[in-house]
A and B are shown apart, each in its own frame.
Chain A
Amino acid sequence: MLKKRVIPVLLISRDRMVKGKQFSEFRDTGRPNSAVRIYSSQDTDELVFLDIEANQGNDHSHESLISVIRSAAEECFMPLAAGGGIDSLDKVRQLILAGADKVVITTAAVLNPDLIFQTAKKFGSQCVVAGIDYRSGHDGARVWIKSGSVETDLDPVSHACALVKLGAGEIFLNSIDRDGMMNGYDLDMADKITEAVSVPVIVCGGAGNFMHLAEAFTKTDISAVACASLFHFGDNSPIRARSYLRNLDIPMRVLK
């Protein structure tokens, strides 16, 4: 049986790791390499690295991301996904050569959806994670791009369907409203997206305790939960998360 995944997210900013609230108010949370070592020793299911500087006009941020991925790939033998500012096949190739197994494409998925198609064609759909950052508004939810700084008129559900048609192999769904708030995932949207697409969906934004992870798995058909604050602030770890979820009969990975 396929197990549900718990995925720590590492936000990368100028060689450091940060965590904010609603895509702002970022706090330094240490060195990415140290975090990678700890997550590796905890046999984490998978890691996602997102460069949050790329859309802020920092031309060198991609090199920082590549170097973080390169050292992570030397250190740990688990699936690695990298994203942030990926706007060309060349950047995809660089990240994969550095050791990424998958790339997360978010802003370019709106501005240049052909990149999703081209990446899937060249590297396979399994390599393409389409990121969807969104906020809720009075007239429904809308997709936002460039690290949550620019609103689009796209509806997250129809956007997800379009990206899957283009070849996306997974959806990384990130609620900006819930980001860093630790008050639970947006399960309504997770439910709508998983109903609408046939590829695995990773939900992100809002996990504050293990019950939030359990709720996401029992109330929706998501394949994975992603979290940052939950592991950054406090003494929680993926090992403890797995054992909590396993006790609730949610299928978790067996290591030994």
Chain B
Amino acid sequence: MIGIIDYGAGNISSVIHACGRVGEDAESFSEPSLAVGYDRLILPGVGSFRMAMEQLNDLGWPEAIGAHVKSCKPLLGICLGMQLLFDEGDEDGPTLGLGFISGKVGILQTKASHRIPHVGWNSLNSTQTHPIMEGVKDHIDFYFVHSYQCVPVSDENVLARCDYGGKFVASVAKGSVVGMQFHPEKSQPAGLRILQNFAEWDGQC
């Protein structure tokens, strides 16, 4: 069973439906103490880094998610949920993140000719293989919608980059934690494949 962390941040029904489509039971839950009952967690997110962290902190999520990660169970962060995996974000002022992956989150660095937010379909350049990306080809497009980018300290944590007037990190992994800047639940067959991979991944670390 996949638990989808509901901390009041937006469209989580799509994630539940998408997991259901790949044959995986998923449900949202809003009580951090229940996290221990799930094999896998998904951290979704819309809105600002600061507001999301405030909500997570107020409700006591960081400890519960931290315990899950410590026991090597898989955690997937989607979009803002990926950004929250990092040490710090500077949207609406510097804010500490969950700190599972070393690095910061800053405004998307691109050329002046490129519009922000980065909205639409764009492809990945994978930098290493990982069970979560099994069967996903590099030229296939995924749906992105974001104005900020993750900047990991170590390239070892980078699974894929994306080109939008400069390269930014589109996917990360460290131990049992993975993050996608794009929305697999909105990316039709290729996105569903990633969710299926996540559902089958043991998060070995």
Decide yes or no: A79 and B13 within 8 Å by CB, A1-B123, A3-B121, A123-B47 being known contacts.
no
**Is the pair B10, A255 in contact by a Cβ cutoff of 8 Å?**
no
Compute how far the CA of A18 lies from the CA of B183 in the bound complex, rounded to whole angstroms.
30
Residue of B nearest to A101 (CB): B11
Assess whether A73 is in contact with B17, with CB atoms less than 8 Å apart: yes
Q: How far is the CB of A191 from chain B (nearest CB, A)?
A: 15
Q: Let me know if B147 and A79 touch, CB within 8 A.
A: no
The verdict on A106 contacting chain B, using a C-beta distance below 8 Å, is: no
Q: Verify A99–B46 contact, CB threshold 8 A.
A: no
Number of interface residues of B (CB under 8 A): 42
Is B38 part of the binding interface, using a Cβ–Cβ cutoff of 8 Å? no
| B95 CB–A CB distance under 8 Å | no
Partner of B192, one of A77, A102, A254: A77
Any A CB within 8 A of the CB of B122: yes
Q: Please pick, from A43, A97, A169, A199, the residue contacting B11 in the complex, using a CB distance under 8 A.
A: A97
Contact of B117 among A1, A169, A224, A255 (CB under 8 A): A169
**Could you tell me which residues of chain A, from 102 to 128, have a CB within 8 Å of some CB in chain B?**
102, 121-127
**A126–B147 CB distance below 8 A:** yes
Nearest Cβ in chain B — how far from A156, in angstroms? Answer: 18
Q: Is A146 interfacial (CB-CB < 8 Å)?
A: no
Contact mask B110-139 → A, CB, 8 Å, 1/0? Answer: 000011111111110000000000000101
Across the interface, do B186 and A77 meet the contact criterion of CB distance under 8 Å? Answer: yes
A side interface size, CB within 8 A = 39
Whether B120 pairs with A2 at a CB distance below 8 angstroms is: yes
Pair A77/B146 contact, Cβ less than 8 Å: no
Is B143 in the interface zone, CB < 8 Å from A?
yes
Interface contact B188-A199, CB-CB below 8 Å: no
Nearest Cβ on chain B to A223's Cβ, whole angstroms:
6
CA distance A96 to B191 in the complex (A): 20
Q: Does B163 contact A (CB under 8 A)?
A: yes
* Cβ-defined contact, A96 with B10, below 8 A: yes
Q: Given A123-B46, A255-B141 in contact, is the A200-B18 Cβ separation under 8 Å?
A: no
For the complex, would chain B's binding face be called helix, strand, loop or mixed by DSSP majority? mixed
Residues on the A chain within 8 Å of B46, using CB: 96, 123-124, 126-127
Measured between alpha carbons, how far is A100 from B13 in the docked complex, in Å? Answer: 9
Q: Assess whether A74 is interfacial by the CB under 8 Å rule.
A: yes
Q: Is the CB of B17 within 8 A of A126?
A: no
Known contacts A98-B13, A223-B120, A253-B121; decide if A126 and B145 are in contact (CB<8 Å).
Answer: yes
Q: Give the residues from 67 to 124 in chain B that come closer than 8 angstroms, CB to CB, to chain A.
A: 80, 114-123
Residues of B145-204 at the interface with A, using a CB-CB cut-off of 8 Å, are 145-147, 163-164, 183, 185-192
Bound state CA distance, A46 and B183, in angstroms?
Answer: 13
Residues on A with beta carbons closer than 8 Å to the beta carbon of B121: 2-3, 5, 45, 253
Q: Do residues B120 and A122 form an inter-chain contact, with CB atoms below 8 A?
A: no
A253:B145 contact, CB within 8 angstroms: no
Complex CA gap A123/B46 in Å reads: 6
16 A/B residue pairs, CB under 8 Å, sorted by A: A1-B163, A2-B118, A2-B120, A5-B120, A74-B17, A77-B18, A78-B143, A96-B46, A99-B11, A101-B186, A125-B147, A198-B115, A199-B116, A223-B115, A253-B141, A256-B137
Binding site for A on B (CB under 8 A): 10-11, 13-14, 17-18, 21, 46-48, 51, 80, 114-123, 137, 139-141, 143-147, 163-164, 183, 185-192
- Contacts A79-B183, A127-B10, A254-B123 supplied; 15 other A-B pairs, CB < 8 Å: A73-B17, A78-B188, A99-B14, A100-B11, A101-B11, A101-B183, A121-B48, A124-B80, A126-B145, A169-B117, A169-B147, A199-B117, A200-B117, A200-B119, A256-B137
